[in-house]
Chain A
């Protein structure tokens, strides 16, 4: 066996074509909205049109009498059903628990954001349900709304929740405040920055959908839903909302058309559809349209921060202090509270040796759509702030941007940061060197001059970053307030003739798990890639799982599968030893064969599997069958790292930014399938570039969403993006057997500051020192005008 735990069959590290593609390319994918159950009814959800109001009467009589309508339910009908829970309890600086308001599935008494569900109408057809919903007469008694962090934290601001003074959910901190402030006070140089990390809409291209079903003869509920984590939904929906035992609640997340964090949360719609199906004993289907998604899918980011970095005479970082306000929206979504705390504040060491770091975060309620994880989830916010601040420090000290980063790199591992994390491994110089070479950093001035000849302002920007994937271990996150474990489950079933079914608690919605996990099993078990199929997304088929988010699937879920394979091999050795009349200790396993050491006597995995299921000649006391399950709870996060370089050209007349080149040099740990890994990097980069240059979710002062469709929310299109220059330098994670880290969020974490640093670099000759995301033509043009007016 090689050092990567493989048997040298070559599946690990190969760009095998994906098993998933045949069905997706021929229209045979099976997404939730593609499923129709016998006797199915259709639901339309009536949603609040105002951001904050007391709910007067909700008159449903006309809707109930409309053609085809079977039922109309409102919030009070579901009273007694549990509220939608949140998954992480945060404590404030003073030790008090966060304010955790009730979250009824449908509004009771008040509505708190545009899009909150007021009623469900169930009818024979989708159109009948929609038309009947329009007949519901809702008496909205308007209340003043707070739609932004500034408004919510202003003195005397209207309250989203009476129990949350100042609209504050929590006031959290991490790190040593006194040490950070003392270091900054004594520093030779200090630089400060105010940054906004704007709100974004995740916009998976598949809108959410759900089908609830109930079988009165068995009492079993089934929910088909567009989820990244079906077992988590079963846990929350069953235990906390509907009070159903697990064996009577099946969650199926079939093919899911992208998630990006927005399909992690347990949504009220899932509870409503399941409950309604039980009331009517009929399948009930709801499919969001895009306009509905804009006001009901969780949104992402939305921070305002101020930070100060202290440096010594040599440009070494001595202290960092960050104060952030994070918009949580009107209700606490599943991971809303941990994203701006335990996935944010603990990232502020970045790749640097800053010895004293302090971060404080106010979690704030507003009358807006709930905020939760979005690709990167906390880590892009931290990285953007830090890497903008480092560029400002370079400008303030006159130290070269690359040099100042290099002077501060961590080079000894393991490295304990001042903000809880302990990095196990990394080589930040290597990815920096690779990025500088691949981007021809040294040749940039010639390109800048050439562009100037064409009347363009050319700029180059860099960011060096780490991320933390596969949040763990369970005991630690539990002590910090997590209400779930963060392990993963893998099951490996070797069938009698040697083919293999793999069951994973993670969920693939674009990541290619069916391929990558099959590669791991084929390699480690020595079977053919085509003989391995991966099953995910059905709580009745899979033992358990925590799902897919935070770039955890390979590091945590892949390791669980690997460990299950090791159990299979261990059992196989007992069977082979019996068949070969040898001692178990003398059996070696390689390339799918159990061999008596030092001999040519062997049994294949297929022969051993057949014996396990036809145990005529079998070890005494050993159970028949060849199927093993492993629960894997990691010892630590994994820590991918890298350097991203962006190059832009700005038209000073129009403010238009053209992204000319993007280079990534990434260390994502051992790579199982380079084709898939690069695809993940591409997607993350596009998401990060979207944030840097294009995307912005905006509300007006009354809490109406201004950017509520693709007509006015700018999605990255093919023409907005360049080809990406992807490079790898790999170090292995030290605490999982595959040495893998994670890749899904790298681009969205690393590239936004590189792009903005490039735009600022382009504009710096004009005196511009900062520009907020997204750097639209309008913003850039205004920044140019403002800088010129100061001259």
Chain B
């Protein structure tokens, strides 16, 4: 089995994986980072979004071996102790989550948007979130949260 080494939430992690192991399964099953979720099998829903080298990726759509040597951040790596990341705080403040299942992917995706586009318009937020499904919120408060989070991030993380 191939060995992989990657930095996950600031900590170097090494493990043997099967060649076919998806990054999301590596994170959830081998590293017990269960904040990253799996909501579909066609790369549509975005519940599995993490950052790889600072950019959002759907971790159900890349192999663990693809992340060898990469710097991976998951939802567990965002907060600084009890201090939430500004985007997490914005989701809390604006009720941008209900059941919480899509939330990690939404937050990770939203941060990448703001890194690329510090002051997105509402239309740009809605367009960017095309790859993140939510069945609970109707997106109304998610969009509000992302725009507020963008403001709070001061244009980038």
Contact = CB atoms under 8 A, between A and B. Distances in A.
Instruction: Answer yes or no: are A and B bound together in one complex.
Output: yes
Given A203-B135, A511-B98, A710 B130 contact: no
B101 A25 contact: no
A447 interface: no
B67 interface: no
Interface residues of B, number: 54
B34 A34 contact: yes
A675 interface: yes
B135 A204 contact: yes
B150 to A, nearest CB: 15
Given A26-B78, A26-B84, A718-B125, A686 B92 contact: no
Contacts of B42: 290-291, 709-711
A776 to B, nearest CB: 18
Given A290-B41, A709-B41, A257 B101 contact: yes
Contact of B136 (A30, A33, A258, A711): A258
B119 interface: no
Contacts of B35: 26-29
B74 A685 contact: no
Interface in A191-230: 203-207
A207 B134 CA distance: 13
A682 interface: yes
A710 B44 contact: yes
Given A205-B45, A710-B45, A18 B92 contact: yes
B107 interface: yes
Given A256-B99, A257-B37, A719 B130 contact: yes
Nearest to A203: B135
Contacts of B45: 205, 290, 710
A25 B93 CA distance: 11
Given A205-B102, A718-B132, A718-B139, A18 B95 contact: yes
A26 B76 contact: yes
Contacts of B20: 127
B127 A719 contact: yes
Determine which residue in A257, A509, A723 has the highest number of CB atoms from chain B within 10 A of its CB, and name it: A257
Given A25-B84, A26-B76, A682-B141, A205 B95 contact: no
Nearest to A676: B95
A465 interface: no
A710 B43 CA distance: 9
Contact of B100 (A29, A203, A711, A716): A29
Contact of A24 (B76, B100, B140): B100
A724 B28 CA distance: 36
B74 A27 contact: yes
Given A25-B84, A717-B129, A719-B127, A724 B140 contact: yes
Contacts of B44: 709-711, 715
A715 B76 contact: no
Nearest to B43: A710
Nearest to A713: B44
Contacts of A511: 98
A17 B137 CA distance: 15
B38 interface: yes
Interface in A288-329: 289-291
A206 B75 contact: no
Interface in B10-29: 18, 20, 28
A721 B140 CA distance: 8
Interface string B117-131: 000001001110110
A181 interface: no
Nearest to B123: A719
Contact of A258 (B28, B101, B122): B101
Contact of A710 (B34, B40, B88): B40
Interface residues of A, number: 56
B103 interface: yes
B99 A509 contact: yes
Interface string B34-64: 1111111110110100000000000000000
A724 B138 CA distance: 9
A590 B101 CA distance: 40
A717 B133 contact: yes
A205 B47 contact: yes
Nearest to B98: A510
A220 to B, nearest CB: 26
Contacts of A22: 92
B41 A289 contact: yes
Contacts of A652: none
A716 B132 CA distance: 10
B39 A205 contact: yes
B129 to A, nearest CB: 4
Determine which residue in B40, B47, B125 has the highest number of CB atoms from chain A within 10 A of its CB, and name it: B40
A25 B98 CA distance: 11
Given A207-B38, A710-B133, A718-B130, A257 B99 contact: yes
B143 A31 contact: no
A20 interface: yes
A24 B130 contact: no
Determine which residue in A27, A33, A203 has the highest number of CB atoms from chain B within 10 A of its CB, and name it: A27
A27 B41 contact: no
A255 interface: yes
A562 interface: no
B91 A27 contact: no
Interface string A679-717: 100111111000000000000000000000111000111
A195 B78 CA distance: 50
A757 B99 CA distance: 32
Contacts of B37: 31, 205-206, 257
B97 interface: yes
Contacts of A545: none
Contacts of A718: 125-127, 129-130, 132, 134, 139, 142-143
B100 A510 contact: yes
A260 interface: yes
Interface in A626-662: none
Interface in B95-113: 95, 97-104, 107
A686 B79 CA distance: 30
Contacts of B95: 17-18, 675-676, 678-679
B33 interface: yes
A29 B47 CA distance: 13
A696 to B, nearest CB: 16
B141 A255 contact: no
B133 A679 contact: no
Contacts of B132: 718
B101 A682 contact: no
A531 to B, nearest CB: 19
A718 B42 CA distance: 18
Contact of B92 (A21, A29, A33): A21
Given A27-B34, A723-B143, A683 B98 contact: yes
Contacts of B103: 24-25
Nearest to A204: B135
Contacts of A711: 42, 44
Interface of A: 17-18, 20-31, 33-34, 127, 203-207, 255-258, 260, 289-291, 509-512, 675-676, 678-679, 682-687, 709-711, 715-719, 721, 723-724, 747
Top 3 nearest A-B pairs (CB, nearest first) are A27-B35, A257-B101, A24-B100
Interface of B: 18, 20, 28, 33-42, 44-45, 47, 74-76, 78-79, 84, 88, 91-93, 95, 97-104, 107, 122, 125-127, 129-130, 132-143
Given A27-B74, A718-B139, 5 more contacts: A18-B92, A257-B100, A290-B42, A679-B137, A682-B139
